[in-house]
Each structure stands twice: as structure tokens, then as C-alpha cells.
């Protein structure tokens, strides 16, 4: 992946041939068993296969990125419109394998007027009020939907002040307990730092924009399958603690998990310096990571793409444990904890050309989701 930075919003281009054809998924176990998924042949996971790693679905066509699972077990995926042609850029994965555009087919149609069209969804979250939030990286817009009806509840365009810097709005987490209607936190993988959004007013501002922990580490060269990864990125994965008091974040090309107080991030009148002073390193990691997630017990799950693994960090003690390491976890992009499992999207982001199908996995964990 290379970031070509425009004057406002960064356009992300993935090298490799354009994938054309039907956008579909397979959930039938018999059909899944017939398919040999792409796997790492070089590196720390080469030859490793954990039988408890379950394939939830095989995805053909455009690559998947974000994942969110509702309290009822509904699975939602995002498909950023990078070089792939995605008919729909956000969809629900039904148990029968059908991908249904969310919220509607029309919302993804290029002919739909700009305000109503979802250009390229990547970040996704489901909050405590059962609202699904889509972060449209293509238009720097955050949209909130009633999950039961698909009704659009909020549409917030990031402010011109925020977009003065080259921006790629990547991931989003929503805290319903702060402010009149909640606050959203958005990672900026191109410009660096975190964007904070007051959902009631629609105001947005930047924090951690100059913090070293929220920018690429110049001394880190990521390696996947024995090859150097040329992309560089600032804050990518973010996760909120169960009480909403702490935001955890991980740079795309950093090997450390960091955190900041949401009190410092959310106070607009204090300025960015206060938030930067509050930022701290939680623990050093052995691998760079893409997306991260949290459970209801204060533990953070990291997608360690260099080592094809999912790791869990106890945020209080800093203890790190390997949940699963498997050669088929070929560039884990996002994670979500639900129903005693951690759900994982993989998309071979390091490979060119990529070879669908991509795997949507889940792995059993002793964890409860955040309330």
C-alpha cells in the first residue's frame, strides 16, 4: 500500500491488478474445506496451523478490512475502494454467505449524490446504544445508523480545520458516555494523531498530532514473509477501554502499544500539548500491528502482521500473550471480540498481486465483549 497525499484527503492505492467480478462470500463448511487459503511460507509462522482457528467465511473480489459483530451476532465488513472495484464498500455477512450492502445498495452507487453516497468505508464500530458507525475515508465523513432499521441518524463531515493536514481517516471508536450524544475517536494514518468528534455538535479537532508515539517510527522497517514492507503509516488501530477513560492506539509502522486519557483528548480548550503530555507507552511489542480491539476486561488485542499472530495485552500489567499464530493469518487487518471469540479479517495486504479468497476467521478466547 502506498499513500499518495493530496491537499486534503489521502488517496490509498494498493499495487497489483484490479480485481473484477462478483463480490461474494462463502460460509458453507463443506465448500470452505475444499479451498486452500493463502498462507505465509517464510517467517515465524511458516508451517504453523492452529486447528482452533475457524474460517467463518471466504471472501472473493475486493479485499475486506474492518469487522464488527453486533450483540445479536450480526457480522458487518468494510471493503475500502482502493485499487479494487467494490460494488459495495460496507456489507452485512449473512449466515448463508450472502453479502448485503449496508445500509442500502443505493448508498454505494456512484450515481448517488455526494452527501448520501458512501465513497470508501474502512473504519467501523458498534456502540453501546446499538448504533453502527461507518467511517468513510473517501469523503472524510462519519455516519451513524440505527442497527435494526438501517436508518441514518448522524452524518458528520470532518471540519476544514482538521483537514488542513493530509488525512486518511482510518479507524473509529465511539464512547456513548461522554457529552450529550457521545464522542468519536478517529485514527489518522496519513497525517498522524487522533481526530476527536463531538457527536452532538459535529465539531472535530486534532490531538496527538506531534506526539512521536502517534507517528511512524523512522527506525522501524516492517518485514512480512521475509520481505520489506515499503508502506509507512502513523496511528492505525485504536481501541477504547470498557469505561471509556482510555484510548489505546498502535502505529502501522511502530512496535509499541500506547495510550492516552480521553479526558485529555476530549477537552477542546486545553490544546494539543496537554494530550501529548498525557500520552504514554503501555508496552513494547515484537511486531508492527494494523487494527486493534478491546474486551470487557481491559485487555487489548493486536493484529501482529509481521508475525501472523493475534496477541493480547493486559493494559494494567503490560503482560503480553500470544492468542494464535498461524500461517493463514496473512496480514490481519481488524479484530472484534464477541461471544467468546475474537473475529479477524485478513487481506494479504503485503502481497502483489493478492490471491482471493480472503479469510474471515474467529478464534476462541476467554473474554467478554465490552458492555
For the record, the C-alpha cell of 153 comes out as 441518524
How far apart, in Å, are the Cα atoms of 194 and each of 156, 239, 291?
16, 12, 14
Percent of the chain with pLDDT over 90: 82
Could you tell me where the DSSP H helices lie in 204-244?
none
- Distance, in Å, from the CA atom of 344 to the CA atom of 289, rounded to the nearest integer, reads 13
Q: In what order do the strands lie in the sheet with 99-101?
A: 67-69, 75-78, 90-93, 99-101
Give residue-wise pLDDT tens across range 100-151. 999 999 999 988 887 889 999 999 999 999 999 999 999 999 999 999 999 9
Closest CA to 194 of 240, 243, 134: 240
Confidence of residue 339 (pLDDT cuts 50, 70, 90): very high
- Distance, in Å, from the CA atom of 183 to the CA atom of 173, rounded to the nearest integer, reads 9
Beta bridge partners of 13: 2
Question: In this structure, what are the phi and psi dihedrals at residue 321, rounded to the nearest 5 degrees?
Answer: -130, 145
Q: Look at residue 275 and give its three-state secondary structure.
A: helix
Spatial contact of 306 and 348, defined as CB atoms under 8 Å apart:
no
pLDDT for 34 equals 97
**Greater model confidence, 292 or 114:** 292
Give residue-wise pLDDT tens across range 33-89. 999 999 999 999 999 999 999 999 999 999 999 999 999 999 999 999 986 678 999
Beta bridge partners of 337: 342
**Greater model confidence, 169 or 278:** 169
Confidence check: pLDDT of 7 > 80: no
Q: Look at residue 125 and give its three-state secondary structure.
A: strand
- Distance, in Å, from the CA atom of 276 to the CA atom of 251, rounded to the nearest integer, reads 15
pLDDT for 20 equals 46
Q: In what order do the strands lie in the sheet with 235-240?
A: 235-240, 246-251, 256-261, 280-284
For the record, the C-alpha cell of 41 comes out as 511460507
pLDDT for 165 equals 75
- Distance, in Å, from the CA atom of 107 to the CA atom of 302, rounded to the nearest integer, reads 31
Confidence of residue 362 (pLDDT cuts 50, 70, 90): very high
- The stretch 12-30 carries a mean pLDDT of 66
- The stretch 314-337 carries a mean pLDDT of 97
Confidence check: pLDDT of 270 > 90: no
**Greater model confidence, 152 or 209:** 152
> What DSSP character marks residue 264?
H
- The stretch 264-274 carries a mean pLDDT of 80
Confidence check: pLDDT of 10 > 50: no
- Distance, in Å, from the CA atom of 182 to the CA atom of 175, rounded to the nearest integer, reads 5
**Greater model confidence, 273 or 233:** 233
- The stretch 233-237 carries a mean pLDDT of 96
pLDDT for 370 equals 76
Rg (CA), the chain: 19
- Distance, in Å, from the CA atom of 200 to the CA atom of 17, rounded to the nearest integer, reads 42
- As a whole number, the mean pLDDT across the chain is 91
How far apart, in Å, are the Cα atoms of 60 and each of 22, 24, 28, 63?
8, 5, 14, 8
Spatial contact of 272 and 286, defined as CB atoms under 8 Å apart:
no
pLDDT for 175 equals 97
Domain assignments of the chain as residue spans, ordered by start: 2-364
Spatial contact of 258 and 282, defined as CB atoms under 8 Å apart:
yes
- Distance, in Å, from the CA atom of 60 to the CA atom of 20, rounded to the nearest integer, reads 10
Confidence check: pLDDT of 18 > 90: no
pLDDT for 205 equals 94
Number of neighbours of residue 18 by Cβ within 10 angstroms: 11
- Distance, in Å, from the CA atom of 133 to the CA atom of 220, rounded to the nearest integer, reads 32
- Report the largest interatomic distance among the alpha carbons of the chain, rounded to a whole angstrom: 58
Confidence check: pLDDT of 325 > 80: yes
Beta bridge partners of 156: 142
CATH topology of domain 2-364: Neuraminidase (2.120.10)
**Greater model confidence, 123 or 14:** 123
- Distance, in Å, from the CA atom of 368 to the CA atom of 65, rounded to the nearest integer, reads 23
Give residue-wise pLDDT tens across range 212-233. 999 999 999 999 999 999 889 9
For the record, the C-alpha cell of 217 comes out as 517510527
For the record, the C-alpha cell of 232 comes out as 509507512
295 CB burial (10 A radius; 0-12, 13-18, 19+)? buried
pLDDT for 278 equals 82
> What DSSP character marks residue 247?
E
| CB-based contacts of 189-193 (< 8 A; 24+ apart in sequence) | 189/3, 189/10, 189/233, 189/234, 189/235, 189/236, 189/252, 190/3, 190/5, 190/10, 190/166, 190/233, 190/234, 191/10, 191/165, 191/166, 191/167, 191/234, 192/165, 192/216, 192/234, 192/235, 193/234, 193/235
Amino acid at each position: 500500500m502506498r499513500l499518495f497525499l493530496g491537499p486534503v484527503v489521502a488517496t490509498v492505492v494498493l499495487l497489483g491488478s484490479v480485481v473484477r467480478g462478483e463480490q461474494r462470500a462463502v460460509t458453507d463448511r463443506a465448500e470452505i474445506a475444499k479451498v486452500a487459503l493463502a498462507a505465509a511460507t517464510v517467517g515465524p509462522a511458516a508451517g504453523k496451523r492452529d486447528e482452533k482457528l475457524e474460517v467463518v467465511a471466504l471472501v472473493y473480489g475486493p479485499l475486506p478490512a474492518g469487522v464488527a459483530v453486533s450483540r445479536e451476532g450480526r457480522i458487518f465488513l468494510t471493503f475500502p475502494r482502493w485499487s479494487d472495484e467494490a460494488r459495495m464498500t460496507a456489507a452485512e455477512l449473512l449466515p448463508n454467505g450472502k453479502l448485503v450492502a449496508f445500509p442500502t445498495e443505493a448508498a454505494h452507487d456512484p450515481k448517488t449524490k455526494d452527501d448520501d453516497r458512501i465513497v470508501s468505508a474502512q473504519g467501523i464500530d458498534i456502540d453501546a446504544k446499538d448504533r453502527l458507525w461507518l467511517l468513510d475515508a473517501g469523503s472524510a465523513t462519519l455516519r451513524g445508523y440505527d442497527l435494526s432499521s438501517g436508518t441514518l441518524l448522524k452524518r458528520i463531515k470532518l471540519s476544514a480545520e482538521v483537514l488542513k493536514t493530509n488525512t486518511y481517516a482510518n479507524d473509529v471508536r465511539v464512547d456513548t458516555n461522554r457529552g450529550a450524544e457521545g464522542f468519536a475517536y478517529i485514527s489518522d494514518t496519513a497525517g498522524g494523531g487522533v481526530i476527536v468528534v463531538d457527536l452532538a455538535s459535529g465539531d472535530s479537532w486534532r490531538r496527538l498530532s506531534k506526539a512521536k508515539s502517534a507517528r511512524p517510527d523512522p527506525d522501524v522497517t516492517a518485514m512480512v514473509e521475509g520481505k520489506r514492507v515499503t508502506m509507512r503509516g502513523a496511528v492505525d488501530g485504536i481501541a477504547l477501554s470498557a469505561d471509556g477513560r482510555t484510548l489505546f492506539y498502535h502505529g502501522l509502522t511502530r512496535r509499541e502499544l500506547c495510550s492516552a486519557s480521553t479526558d485529555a483528548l476530549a477537552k477542546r480548550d486545553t490544546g494539543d500539548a496537554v494530550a501529548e503530555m498525557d500520552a504514554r507507552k503501555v508496552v513494547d511489542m515484537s511486531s508492527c500491528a494494523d487494527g486493534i480491539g478491546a474486551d470487557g476486561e481491559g485487555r487489548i488485542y493486536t493484529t501482529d502482521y509481521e508475525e501472523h499472530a493475534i496477541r493480547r495485552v493486559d493494559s494494567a500489567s503490560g503482560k503480553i500473550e500470544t492468542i494464535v499464530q498461524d500461517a493463514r493469518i496473512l496480514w490481519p487487518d481488524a479484530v472484534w471480540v464477541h461471544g467468546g471469540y475474537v473475529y479477524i479479517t485478513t487481506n494479504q495486504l503485503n502481497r502483489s498481486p493478492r490471491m482471493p479468497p480472503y479469510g474471515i476467521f474467529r478464534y476462541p478466547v476467554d473474554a467478554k465483549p465490552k458492555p
